[in-house]
Every structure is written in C-alpha cells, then in structure tokens.
Structure 1
Amino acid sequence: MNSVLVAVIERLMDDVGDKIAVDVPMGALTTYRVGGRAAAMVVVDDHETLSAVAAAVAGTGIPVMTLGRGSNMLVADRGFDGLVIHLAGDYAAINVVDETIVIAGAAAKLPVVARTTAGYGLTGFEWAVGVPGSIGGAVRMNAGGHGADTKDALLDADVVDFAAGERRIVPAEELQLSYRHSALRTDELVVGCRLSLSPGDERKGKAEMAEIVQWRRDNQPGGQNAGSVFTNPDGESAGRLIDTAGGKGLRVGTAEVSAKHANFIQADEGGTAADVLRVMIEARTLVEFAHGVVLQPETHLVGFTDDEVPWPS
C-alpha cells in the first residue's frame, strides 16, 4: 500500500468514521465468491459521505473501484490495492416522477427497478428482472438481455469524476453506450440515473417478467458464477461457440465451464480466481482454434496484471 493511499484512508477514517474499513475480503462481496482482499472499502450511503470521499480522492491518482452487487467481476487472489466504493442507503432509492420518468440510485437492484416500474404500469425495463446487478453497473456496461439494454431507456447519468473531484449530469449520448460498453473511466462513479419508460399494462408486465425469470432458471446455472463470461460476437452466441469447440464442462482446478450454459463459469466453494481466469483463457483459446473467432470478455477483471491476462484491459 503506497503512502498516498494510506493518507487517503487515514483522512477518510477521520471524515466518515466506521463507514470505511481496511483489509476487506472481496470474495464474499462478489457472486464468484473468490478473490483476495481490498486495501480499503468505504460505504457511501448519503450525500455527505459521497462529498467527503470525492474530496479525499480527488487528484490523488489512487486506484478506485466501484462495487455494486459484485455480479460481473472477478477479483484476483492477491486482491485490490486501492479504495473500493460501495454505494448503499440513499443511493438505492427508486422514484417515479412525471408519470414515465424514473430516478434510480446507482445501488438500486435491477430486479427491484424492473418490478417497481412494472408496478407503476410502466414498460421497457422488464428485461432486467433476472439480472443480478445494480442500475449503476448496468449504466456502466450498458447491461441488457432479451432483446433490450440499458441504453434504450437511459436519459442521463449522475456521475462523480474522482480525478477532478466534480459531479455532473451526463446525457446518455455522451456515455457512448454500445454493446456491453460505455465511455466511463474506472475513476468515474455513477451514483444515479434517469430512465424514460412507456405507459404499459401492469398485468402484462408481470407476466413477461415471470416468463423471463423462468427462462433464466431453465437455461442458466446457479451457484458461484458472474453471468456471461464473454460478449456475443455479431450474429453469434458465445455459449454456442464454446460448446461446439468442446469447451462445455472444461475444468481447471476449482473452476469449470457450466454444463448448463457454456458462457458461464462456475467456481467451487473455496476456489481461486486464478482457476476461473485459467478457464476463461482456455475456453477463449478453444473457440479461436475451432472457429477463428476471438471472444471478448464481459467479466470485469480486478487486480490482475497485464502478464496474466492475454487481452487488453
């Protein structure tokens, strides 16, 4: 831990008290349930805490990482030598205004946003009912499913730039959202967003969500995984490519490609992030050799070195 990071942590201990902890196990905070420890984590649950964190971090250049529900990341066994920012409290609020405009805090769970908006008779966000993430993460990666994605409904995002110590509302078009991608940097934190939905039928919305939940139960594995490992190439399915390349059931140590869906990797209880990464690499290599297609990762890797990861970070 470098001296600048130590100074930031000490300042935050003075400013936010027990909302910051050091040497935090990350495995229990992610859906893979593997990985090492973070140097520190601060729980940001109100405006005052957010302001204190922004002031302490601004201009320091320390590594900063946002943690939502940990459903799309793999943390290295060595951990993360930086500050983890975990939104909660006020930042989990969901409010419907002007009949079809939804204001959601970044910590709001996607299934809760989907069910809440459907309960107001709004349509356009039913797809999110089966996605185990938060709305902040959905904005950052333009999450989606079942023929829709976050971009379709997003008006703007409330973003804190930790490099500059500034907070501003960023219109959706400035985020440059594309398939599972945005222009947001790692030191930019989404703290909320506005969605524009359409009037719909509450009963139809609930029926559609029930079908989505059932489809996911039937077609995707449970257990310790982080959802889709690779993005789908144009006109193709990453899962099908891995399956037909012979990757389904591929195991390395404590991790394996799911027998239920080949674009999911499952980690054993007490497993390692190194094994999960190795399975990712081997599955990707199988597909390249069999089909000539280079799969791109959807899972966010944290704490790994460039030497360990054979694709641009």
Structure 2
Amino acid sequence: MVQNDLLSVLRSVPGAEVRVDEPLGDLTTYRIGGAARVLVQAVDLESLVGVGRAIVDSGVDVVVLGRGSNVLVADSGFDGVVVRLGGSFEGVEIPMPSDPLAARAGSAAALPVVARRTAAAGLGGFEWAVGVPGTIGGAVRMNAGGHGSDMAASISEASVLRLGDDAAQVLSVDQIGFGFRSSGLQHLDVVLDAVIGLRRVDVATAETEIDEIVRWRREHQPGGQNCGSVFVNPVPGVVSAGQLIDGLGLRGLSEGTATVADKHANFILSSPGGAADDVVRLMARVRSAVLEGTGHDLRSEVRLLGFDEEVARAAGARRATGEGH
C-alpha cells in the first residue's frame, strides 16, 4: 500500500515525475491490464537515487519497467510503485574510429535502435537484437537473446544501482551471473547502462543481416498484442517450449480473450480490450497440459505483475511481483 507521505517524498525528488493510478496497459506490448498505484520516472542517476531511497525506506513493492515487452499486468493493477527510466538513460554512445570497439547504451535505449545505430556505423555483433522489442536494462536482467546470441555474449559490463544505495556498481559478465533467459541480479538492482562489444564490419553487410532478421521474425512470429515467447525453453538448444506445446496440438487453444497463436505455439495473443486474467489462465492450462503430456515443467518467461501468488505460480512464475520468475 502506497502512503501519502511516500508520494510527498517522491514528488520532492528533483527530476522525478510522479503519477498516481497510472494505467499500465499502453506501456506494455500486451496493451492490457490495470493501473499502477504510483508511476515515477527518473531522468538521471541523481533522481533515481532519490527515488530509490524513498521507496526502500517505505518498504512498498516496486518494479522497474522498460518497454513492457515481456510483462503482463493483472487486470486489478499493481498496488505499488512502478519506476521507469528516461532522459539520460536513453542515450547511446557510438565509438569513434580511434576508440575501443564498444558502444555504451543506456538502460532505457531500445534494442532495435541500438542494433540499427551500431550497424549504420559499421559496427557488427549486435544485429541479432533488432528483433527484440525491449530495452537494454530489461535485456540485461533477463539475458534476452535470439538468432544465436544473447546479452551474456554481447556485453562486457553493466552499471547497476541497487535501490536504496547512493552509488552504482560496475559489474562484469561473471558478476551479473547470466543464465538462459535469466541473471543473478537481485530484486532491487536497476541496470543503468551496458557496454556492448563490437567489431568492424561492412555497413551494407550488417544492414542486410538486420533486414533478414526482421523478415524472418515477420514470417515466423505473430503480430498483434503479445509479449513474445511466453515460456522459457526447458532444455535450451534441444527442447523448445514451442515444440512441446505444438506437439500436443494446442495451437488455437483459447481462454476468453486469449489464444495460443497459430503461427508460433509459444506465443499467446490477446484480443483488443482483452483481459490479462484470460492470458494468465491460458498460460496455466498450457503449462498443465505440457507437464501432463511430456513431463516438462515450463517456466514463465513473462513477468507477471500484480497477480495473486497462487495464480502466478500456476502460470509458471516464481513470484508475482514481476521482478523475478
């Protein structure tokens, strides 16, 4: 529960923009779900430090939200504080010809933007990210990946602030503790930026690769209201969640306004004006069917925000706040 004294403190933080009962649906790719009790945007490190200190001192639930590309918000909303990063956190520093071959990208920078900007500068290695509709911060937290690479293979370090602290830490890849679609970052850890390793490439070659990735995604993955892959592959590179779901004939399975996509069985689509509760119930049905039919216990790749703990666990999440799985 957010108290009025916390609102007063948050509103007093320079550079922090505070909104109450802010709808979250339009801030996610699912475009459904309820409101956050408080939404606060920090534009620089100083404002984030102030916001973080106030939140930790209050003990209120908190979630950091990027582009919302792997988040499902409960229809009842989230009775806590949602933090978004803007301003200086959106920057991308492209190296000059005499600089080391690495770009520094802010937490709020969109992956497709970083991929295209580096390719246009004749710097390769991050083309794979053009098809991932998230931000650098969220991608580091969950070790986003695709097309043969991921964040663990792409970055050398990341700056991280633990909410409540006064200073950030620079963490190496080993310190971040990457796993498949996961990291060792803790609940209160906020990624500020990341350094991406690159190599010199021909601009036309890099941009052609980007075009091919975009084309492949359009051909093999559905559009509409979704958040990408719903479940983590149980055995990466060997057994995929989509294959298991498809093998049980679950394409087209529906629950109210939610449907397992025909084009890719590990995608669940929502109808315009749909219900998040329908999506999470369908996730639970699919997960139960896969466990019964194959023995594989699927884990949610979606961050479930604001749901009852029992409901979230039935859908394959490890916790219901959205910070972890």
* Fold shared per TM-score above 0.5: yes
Following the alignment from structure 2 to structure 1, what is the Cα–Cα distance between the partners of residues 192 and 58?
Answer: 20
Say whether the 8 Å CA contact 1:226–1:299 is kept in structure 2.
yes
**Does 2:200 align with 1:213?**
no
CA apart distance, 1:48: 3.4
Following the alignment from structure 2 to structure 1, what is the Cα–Cα distance between the partners of residues 87 and 2?
Answer: 30
Deviations 1:121-175 (A, max 9, x none): 1111100001111111110000000110011121111111114444211122111
Say whether the 8 Å CA contact 2:2–2:80 is kept in structure 1.
no
Q: How does 1:1-313 map onto structure 2 within 5 Å?
A: 1-3=1-3, 6-16=4-14, 19-97=17-95, 98-234=99-235, 235-309=238-312, 310=314, 311=316, 312-313=318-319
Following the alignment from structure 1 to structure 2, what is the Cα–Cα distance between the partners of residues 201 and 299?
Answer: 36
The AA in structure 2 aligned to 1:291 is T
Following the alignment from structure 2 to structure 1, what is the Cα–Cα distance between the partners of residues 86 and 292?
Answer: 44
TM-score, normalised relative to structure 2: 0.92
The AA in structure 2 aligned to 1:145 is G
CA apart distance, 1:18: 7.2
Following the alignment from structure 1 to structure 2, what is the Cα–Cα distance between the partners of residues 55 and 110?
Answer: 29
Following the alignment from structure 1 to structure 2, what is the Cα–Cα distance between the partners of residues 255 and 109?
Answer: 27
Say whether the 8 Å CA contact 1:230–1:263 is kept in structure 2.
yes
Question: Measured at CA, do residues 17 and 95 of structure 1 come closer, stay the same or move farther in structure 2, by a change above 3 Å?
Answer: closer
Gaps of 5+ in 1: none
Following the alignment from structure 1 to structure 2, what is the Cα–Cα distance between the partners of residues 202 and 73?
Answer: 34
Deviations 1:3-34 (A, max 9, x none): 3xx32221111224771101010111111111
Following the alignment from structure 1 to structure 2, what is the Cα–Cα distance between the partners of residues 126 and 62?
Answer: 39
Gaps of 5+ in 2: 320-325
Say whether the 8 Å CA contact 2:10–2:16 is kept in structure 1.
no
CA apart distance, 1:2: 4.4
TM-score, normalised relative to structure 1: 0.95
Say whether the 8 Å CA contact 1:221–1:261 is kept in structure 2.
yes
Deviations 1:181-220 (A, max 9, x none): 0011221111111111122221111111100000000010
CA apart distance, 1:61: 2.6
Give the match's secondary structure for 2:13.
helix
CA apart distance, 1:56: 2.0
Say whether the 8 Å CA contact 1:59–1:162 is kept in structure 2.
no
Say whether the 8 Å CA contact 1:58–1:165 is kept in structure 2.
no
The AA in structure 2 aligned to 1:137 is G
Say whether the 8 Å CA contact 1:57–1:165 is kept in structure 2.
no
Following the alignment from structure 1 to structure 2, what is the Cα–Cα distance between the partners of residues 165 and 228?
Answer: 36
Say whether the 8 Å CA contact 1:140–1:184 is kept in structure 2.
yes
CA apart distance, 1:88: 1.3
Following the alignment from structure 1 to structure 2, what is the Cα–Cα distance between the partners of residues 210 and 182?
Answer: 29
Following the alignment from structure 1 to structure 2, what is the Cα–Cα distance between the partners of residues 73 and 281?
Answer: 16
Question: Measured at CA, do residues 85 and 231 of structure 1 come closer, stay the same or move farther in structure 2, by a change above 3 Å?
Answer: same
Give the match's secondary structure for 2:94.
strand
Give the match's secondary structure for 1:19.
strand
Aligned length: 311
Following the alignment from structure 2 to structure 1, what is the Cα–Cα distance between the partners of residues 279 and 28?
Answer: 13
Give the match's secondary structure for 2:93.
strand
Comparing 135-144 with 90-99, greater Cα deviation is found at 90-99
Return structure 1 stretches of 4+ with deviation > 6 angstroms. none
